[in-house]
Amino acid sequence: MSTSLRPVFKTVLSVCVLGLVVLMSSQAAVAQVRIKDIVDIEGVRDNMLVGYGLVVGLNGTGDTIRNSPFTEQSLVGMLERLGVNTRIGAGGRLSNLRTRNVAAVIVTATLHPYAAQGTRIDVTVSALGDAQSLLGGTLLVTPLIGADGEVYAVAQGPIAVGGFAAAGNAETVVQNVPTSGRIASGAIVEREIEFALAELPVLRISLRNPDFTTAQRIADAINTRLGAAFAQATDPASILLTVPGNRRGDIVGLITDIEQVRVEPDQVARVVIDEKTGVIVMGANVRISEVAVAQGNLTVRITETPQVSQPDAFGAGETTVVDRTNIQVDTDEDRRLAIVPESVSLQELVQNLNALGIGPRDMISILQTIKAAGALQAEIEVI
């Protein structure tokens, strides 16, 4: 090699090596995920809230009072609490309420972990009766209760509806769902959920997708990060982390360090089938033993084309109907038997099945048949 070409060769070699290192590191980064994306910390959780209320100010699109007795009872109770008497006569008979501007609704919200008293959360409002639309309505004060029956927030405000409904004598137009809407920051938190995370001597880390291998890998990664055996996988869904003595006053910082650690999660070879929509999802670890696959359908088409037999104008005879039947049988003889080699990958399996001209519906039956034959090395889950 000449002296003049050596610097160029070294430069090219350095670029190739750098590109190979970048490619390998990018592939490793794709295979690994952060711990925070696959686990939850015990105690750091959301809580569901629900409430029953009234929406007013509707433009004649509210509940029909006579068809929704709960709306009438709620409206009467609210008016009486505000000092409005809705009863007439000595027997206390209710007056005739004919309003269509009121709707009974169910209000739902999610109380985020450690939501402080006085903070605001979003709420969703859904019609309960026969209201046609909540567009333009305002939710009145509605207490939101948790699973323990305690009030944790109070909601009120104008509703934002993303749909509408318009009807005429011959046509009706409905866009999205006009009987459901949201109120951004529409509820005020009145009670906090107490949980002393900073005082826990042991943290429980829960996997969102339980797996023995993944749990052990997370425990090993945490121990490597902390420099000692503080984490232990107790089951496929839980890792117990003993808080180090020097981190007792810094639980948030400890969790932050752990969440950023990357691990490679493992997964069970599984084929998920949704028979209602024909969707098939197969994991990368799905393997097939060597099998022969053939797919064909017997289709019989019978077409009736009756014809009229008309005699001549001056001839004798009667007009009759003559049957003409055409029968076609399609046995799919052009489709052949395909050999699926042993231990094929997911991509190879899909390519082999697509080569037979198989659609999603037929592929579901084939996968279930291969599983019954013991050649599919994966679980099949039908949803």
Q: Which residue range(s) make up the domain with 365?
A: 271-382
**Residue 8 within any structural domain of the chain:** no
Give the pLDDT band (50/70/90) at residue 214. very high
Q: Where are the beta strands (DSSP E) in 19-58?
A: 33-34, 39-41, 47-56
- The answer to whether residue 73 sits within a structural domain is yes
Residue bearing tokens 């000449």:
2
- By C-alpha distance, which of 122, 132, 125, 129 is closest to 106? 125
174 and 51 part of one domain: yes
Same domain? 120 vs 206: no
Residues 169 and 204 grouped into a single domain: no
Give me the residues paired with residue 203 across strands.
Answer: 241
C-alpha dist (Å) from residue 251 to 44, 226, 242, 255, 256: 13, 13, 11, 6, 9
244 inside domain: yes
Residues 53 and 148 both lie in one domain:
yes
Whether residue 19 lies inside any domain: the answer is no
Structure token pair of residue 151: 């009030």
Last residue of a domain, one of 220, 244, 263: 263
Residue 248: closest CA among 218, 204, 203, 206: 203
> 257 and 302 share a domain?
no
Is 27 a domain residue?
A: no
In this prediction the pTM is 0.66
Residue 65 forms part of a structural domain: yes
Last residue of a domain, one of 156, 189, 222: 189
pLDDT at 4 over 90: no
Q: What is the mean pLDDT of residues 179-189?
A: 95
The backbone torsions φ and ψ at residue 182, rounded to the nearest 5 degrees and listed phi first, read -130, 155
> From the centroid of its chain, how far is CA 123?
19
Q: Residue 18's pLDDT band (boundaries 50, 70, 90)?
A: very low
Report the range of poorest mean pLDDT among 271-275, 329-333, 360-364: 329-333
Q: Is the pLDDT of residue 118 over 70?
A: yes
B/e letters for 41-73, b = 16+ CB within 10 Å, e = fewer, are: bbeeeeeebebebbbebbeebbbebeebeebbe
64 and 174: one domain? yes
Number of domains in the chain: 3
129 and 181 in a single domain? The answer is yes
How does pLDDT run across 150-180, given as a tens digit for each residue?
A: 999 999 999 999 877 766 666 777 777 899 9
Same domain, 84 and 117: yes
**What average pLDDT does the segment 19-23 reach?**
42
Domain boundary among 263, 288, 304: 263
Q: Are residues 79 and 161 in the same domain?
A: yes
